Structure 1
Amino acid sequence: MNNELERVFGVFLLNEMQLALPLQALREVTPCLGLREYPSAARGIIGAIDLRGALIPVLDLRRVLGLSTPELPAQSVVIMAHEGQLIGLLAHGVQGVFQPEGRDFQPVSAQTGQLHLLAGSFQRRDVEALVSVLDPAALSRLPDLPMVLPAETAAGGGEGRAAELSYVMLMRCGGVPLAMPSDAVFTTILTPNIDRDSALASGFCLGVLEHAGSSIPAVDLYRMLGLNSQLRHANQQAFLVQFPAGLVAFLVDEINDVVPTYDLSLAPIPAHSFAQQRYLAGVLDSRQLPEHNTSAQTRALGYYLMLDVAALQAAADLQGLGRMNMRSEGEIGLAGSRQQRPTCQMLTYDLCAEVGTPIEQIVEILPWQHQEQMMGGGDYAGGLVVHRGRAIATYSLAQVLGLEPPTLTPTASVLVVECGDTLIGFGVARLMSIDEAEWPPQDGHAFDSGHQRLHANPQAQNWKSVMAGQGSQTRLLSVLDLRELAEQLMAR
């Protein structure tokens, strides 16, 4: 990734992980409106979507990486293109396009011929989150992965028309039909529960609603737009939009549909038609859209008012509400984040339980396979990995801790730490996530039996515990100081 153009990324969510693709590999994002059955031997293929006449397989990366698969509503499918072929990646939300500074991007070294799905990572300065960058070439090499040609290529056509395709979300608010680009929607909530007793309730902010363990300001979109106050509206559903400092929920009567269109030409709105016309981009003729779900009243009107997403996100009062995201315990800040205590980024991996190490301790992550090690003797299956001309003493972390030798997975890696002038590698069978964790660690937490087995090991007497993750993914995590462990091994 030396070309600066390759340092522009489209970021999306999977569970609460932030993943990214280089922009040149991100063909488009389409709503996940239902999957068709798709026979495939590839691990992680959960079905397929119809993309303009081409059946595109959809890959759930959680199953490839061995991660948990909670029943979260899939919002989108990210279409990845590599060497003229397509594959869909399941996503739970789209974050936008980012171009990190050079110092924020950290490449991941991978040995030739070995499967390693990450090209690197970068820090998002807007929300202080770490984004894992996927390697399209490595993804395309997953065993039996069915990548397909786009319909227009298979038919001998060009790709000009595909570039014009966009998706819009259609909704109704007090009888007024509204629309907005679907890629600006973080997620939708079909049955929002509004706490109207919140201190934020004022003007067009009705209070807060709960989402993923956080209280998010809820805006009456109808009132904010200054529409006819005589029309009744019910605020029965909501959609969330990401602002620079946090999320804001917009309440509407009904979300009708998400539809594709090749023609988003908008008619101008006459001046002084609405009190807050700055939030409206124009009028969308419903005849530009394919058949879609809507009410009889909306069909009779024959148009939608298109929201101007850029104007919404630039509004100072809405940005201020975005800063008022609160965890359920009452901490103000980004949704699901911890603002009252220092935090650090934690790389987690699988031993007999989920274990984390501060990512600042790890200077390199290399693919790990037994046959690539020049195995030596010793108590802990020590060996060598040669990387960039340096020999790295490498140990199986599970065996160092007295655990059974692990079964390797596609994310098996060697975590390299510095011990003075020496590099020490610890092999782990499965990487799990990169998560924000409270720091410094706290003692006194109760652990399950898997964690207790770890803590009883004489090779690692200084276990600590932290609360890691965000929202519904918050959990108690054992922390292992790999630098300290490396010093113990060097002293033997």
Structure 2
Amino acid sequence: MAPAAIRPGFGGFRIGGMELGLPMQVLREVVPCQELIRLPCAASCVTGGINLRGIMVPVIDLRILFGMPTPHVPFQSVMIMIHENRLLGLLTEGVTGVFTGETSEINHVHFAAADQSVFYGSIRRADNGTLVNLLSPAALAMLRDVPLAEHREMKKPTGIQADTANSQNKDQRQGQDKVIPVLLLRCNQIALTIDAMEVYTTLSDPEIKPSPLAMGSCRGVIEYAGSKIPVLDLLEVCGFGKIEPDTPLQAFLVQLPKGMAAFLVNKVIDVVRIRTGEIIDVPAYALPRSALFSGAIPKSSLPASCSQQDAILASQFLVLNGAGMKSCHEITALANVSAPEQMLVRHNRPQTATTDKTGRKRTMVTYLLGSETATPFEQIREILPFSHSIPIFEQTGPLLGMIVVRGRSIPVVCLHRLITGQPAQKAATNILVVEIDHEAIGFAIPALKSIETVEWEPELPQFGGEAANDDLKRAIRSNRLAQIGNGNSIRMLPVLDLEKIGRAFRAQQLAVA
């Protein structure tokens, strides 16, 4: 029986606001862009070179090639491609992951000029629907006056290095043991690695800012590309404790289905290539959160230059599972906060199940409101600190005033006064922002408590009823509970539907007006 056809893979990356892609077979690795070395080269698109383990690799800026502006973008990376055993670096703002596609799915473009263009078509990604412009490796390698570095194979290849063409063809036929670029990381003395194509970019010295999200493994947020991205302690996420205080920190960013998340490490050591056949199994019971790992790479399988860096004491590099991290509800719930505004417009959904469409357990944000109360995290668009400069109205009702966030005017309502009719006993510390029919409303609360997974969501029977025209009272009167926590920390909390409450409050205000 003939082997099943392998769908060709592409590596996606971004520069100058363009979504671009190259065939995976020509991509070698992605490295952080340090200061580029000047080269004696006439091509204006060659912005310099990088020292790639003793090889000077020229780097081109595609924005110059396409006649686009070239503003400085922090935290850039260089994607290394190989064509006919020659290397070229492409400046990027970050990689966007691997995707597959068929040749028949490519929408080809044609140019009237006889010269071959580096842009030959586009394809729509099946994973997120993005339209990606495809580049021709052969055309990039033939750019006028652009030098390419000759790739030197080591005399004694190890399992981490590139295979020869014959072994690559054999691997493709078998559909296994392929070569992938990985990022080597250190957290305390624990060595970790992750597929480099899962990493959006790396940050050499992240500036962590305080945030109401800073609880559990979240240390705060960083500002990147106009978004506030939650920063998580990678060790704590993996269940290995915490990164030691007062130690140098770096971070890497991962693009999730909605938003992004940053993970703190002590050191991004290097980017190297490994064969997937070098990954060994690790007993699941030996790992606190086994779903976040896909095995380990023995240190002896890595090049000596990489193994010796930073005096790694561990005998193996634990391999992080990118898919497992992207499906971890703790991570995705926090990443949703950093999602672009257009991705955070939420629609009404029946809140009757403990799990979402994918079968994963829902997450609740809990806060103090007299007693501890819960709201589905999916309803919370953003969590803001409360400022005493916010109130501008007479505080005889629940409406405190308005704030402006990224060009939007958001009314702020005292949730305690709205529910009880009485002033809050404690000053507000945070604002929960909820999206209602493309409008935002903020609920001021005394204090956040936690973000936790729901184990059970029972619904109590309704007795009696409010007047037919009192939608607000009906929205406030919650008959749903959420069981949160485990062991001695199990508690049953009332659940408030803030979207429903906000919609009813808005209708009441409009009726009065």
TM-score when scaled to structure 1?
A: 0.55
Q: CA deviation at 1:267?
A: 4.2
User: What's the counterpart of residue 285 of structure 2?
Assistant: 272
Match 2:343 to one of 333, 336, 356: 333
SS across alignment from 2:337: coil
Q: CA deviation at 1:213?
A: 0.6
Q: CA deviation at 1:274?
A: 3.0
Distance 1:167 1:103, change over 3 A: closer
Task: Please tell me whether the aligned partners of residues 45 and 60 of structure 1 are also in contact (alpha carbons under 8 angstroms).
Answer: yes
User: What's the counterpart of residue 22 of structure 2?
Assistant: 21
Distance 1:57 1:214, change over 3 A: same
Distance 1:43 1:153, change over 3 A: farther
SS across alignment from 2:305: coil
CA distance in 1, matches of 2:33, 2:306: 12
User: What's the counterpart of residue 159 of structure 1?
Assistant: 165
Letter in 2 for 1:250: F
CA distance in 1, matches of 2:192, 2:200: 17
SS across alignment from 2:323: helix
Task: Please tell me whether the aligned partners of residues 284 and 305 of structure 1 are also in contact (alpha carbons under 8 angstroms).
Answer: yes
Match 2:226 to one of 213, 223, 228: 213
CA distance in 1, matches of 2:127, 2:181: 26
Q: Which runs of 5+ in 2 are unaligned?
A: 157-162, 172-177, 347-513
Q: Which runs of 5+ in 1 are unaligned?
A: 341-492
CA distance in 2, matches of 1:294, 1:154: 20
Task: Please tell me whether the aligned partners of residues 46 and 60 of structure 2 are also in contact (alpha carbons under 8 angstroms).
Answer: yes
Letter in 2 for 1:181: D
Q: Does 1:64 align with 2:65?
A: yes
Distance 1:235 1:223, change over 3 A: farther
CA distance in 2, matches of 1:29, 1:177: 19
Task: Please tell me whether the aligned partners of residues 152 and 158 of structure 1 are also in contact (alpha carbons under 8 angstroms).
Answer: no
Task: Please tell me whether the aligned partners of residues 59 and 90 of structure 1 are also in contact (alpha carbons under 8 angstroms).
Answer: yes
Q: CA deviation at 1:104?
A: 7.3
CA distance in 1, matches of 2:227, 2:123: 25
Instruction: Give 1:204-243 correspondences, 5 Å limit.
Output: 204-228=217-241, 236-243=249-256
User: What's the counterpart of residue 47 of structure 1?
Assistant: 48
CA distance in 1, matches of 2:144, 2:109: 21
Task: Please tell me whether the aligned partners of residues 11 and 197 of structure 2 are also in contact (alpha carbons under 8 angstroms).
Answer: no
CA distance in 2, matches of 1:55, 1:235: 29
Task: Please tell me whether the aligned partners of residues 174 and 233 of structure 1 are also in contact (alpha carbons under 8 angstroms).
Answer: no
User: What's the counterpart of residue 257 of structure 1?
Assistant: 269
Match 2:333 to one of 307, 317, 320: 320
Q: Per-residue CA shift, 1:209-268, capped at 9, x if unaligned? A: 21111012222222221114696686833211122223111123x124114255662443
Match 2:187 to one of 136, 149, 173: 173
Q: CA deviation at 1:131?
A: 2.3
CA distance in 2, matches of 1:333, 1:282: 34
Instruction: Give 1:53-202 correspondences, 5 Å limit.
Output: 55-72=56-73, 73-81=75-83, 86-99=87-100, 105-111=106-112, 113-124=114-125, 126-127=127-128, 129-147=130-148, 150-152=151-153, 158-159=164-165, 166-198=180-212, 200-202=213-215
User: What's the counterpart of residue 31 of structure 2?
Assistant: 31
Distance 1:299 1:97, change over 3 A: closer
Q: CA deviation at 1:172?
A: 2.9
CA distance in 1, matches of 2:164, 2:184: 29
Q: Per-residue CA shift, 1:419-461, capped at 9, x if unaligned? A: xxxxxxxxxxxxxxxxxxxxxxxxxxxxxxxxxxxxxxxxxxx
Distance 1:234 1:102, change over 3 A: same
SS across alignment from 2:71: coil
Distance 1:160 1:249, change over 3 A: farther
User: What's the counterpart of residue 10 of structure 2?
Assistant: 9
SS across alignment from 2:183: strand
CA distance in 1, matches of 2:275, 2:137: 30
Task: Please tell me whether the aligned partners of residues 53 and 151 of structure 1 are also in contact (alpha carbons under 8 angstroms).
Answer: no
What value does the CA root-mean-square deviation take over the aligned residues? 4.0
Distance 1:102 1:266, change over 3 A: closer
Distance 1:154 1:85, change over 3 A: farther
Task: Please tell me whether the aligned partners of residues 191 and 316 of structure 2 are also in contact (alpha carbons under 8 angstroms).
Answer: yes
Distance 1:195 1:75, change over 3 A: same
Q: CA deviation at 1:48?
A: 3.8
Rg larger in 1 or in 2?
A: 2
Task: Please tell me whether the aligned partners of residues 45 and 61 of structure 2 are also in contact (alpha carbons under 8 angstroms).
Answer: yes
Task: Please tell me whether the aligned partners of residues 80 and 89 of structure 1 are also in contact (alpha carbons under 8 angstroms).
Answer: no
CA distance in 2, matches of 1:230, 1:108: 50
Q: CA deviation at 1:79?
A: 0.4
User: What's the counterpart of residue 324 of structure 2?
Assistant: 311
CA distance in 2, matches of 1:303, 1:188: 22
Q: Does 1:283 align with 2:296?
A: yes
Task: Please tell me whether the aligned partners of residues 189 and 314 of structure 2 are also in contact (alpha carbons under 8 angstroms).
Answer: no
Distance 1:105 1:190, change over 3 A: same
User: What's the counterpart of residue 261 of structure 2?
Assistant: 248
CA distance in 2, matches of 1:301, 1:313: 26
User: What's the counterpart of residue 452 of structure 2?
Assistant: none
CA distance in 1, matches of 2:10, 2:292: 28
SS across alignment from 2:304: coil
SS across alignment from 1:222: helix
CA distance in 2, matches of 1:41, 1:300: 46
CA distance in 1, matches of 2:108, 2:6: 15
CA distance in 2, matches of 1:66, 1:257: 35
Select between 184-193 and 166-175 the one with higher mean Cα deviation: 166-175
Letter in 2 for 1:109: H
User: What's the counterpart of residue 414 of structure 1?
Assistant: none
Q: CA deviation at 1:120?
A: 2.2
Task: Please tell me whether the aligned partners of residues 21 and 133 of structure 1 are also in contact (alpha carbons under 8 angstroms).
Answer: yes
SS across alignment from 1:169: strand
Task: Please tell me whether the aligned partners of residues 205 and 249 of structure 2 are also in contact (alpha carbons under 8 angstroms).
Answer: yes
SS across alignment from 1:203: coil
Distance 1:102 1:321, change over 3 A: farther
Percent identity for Structure 1 against Structure 2: 31
Q: CA deviation at 1:186?
A: 0.9
Distance 1:229 1:70, change over 3 A: closer
- Aligned pairs, number: 324
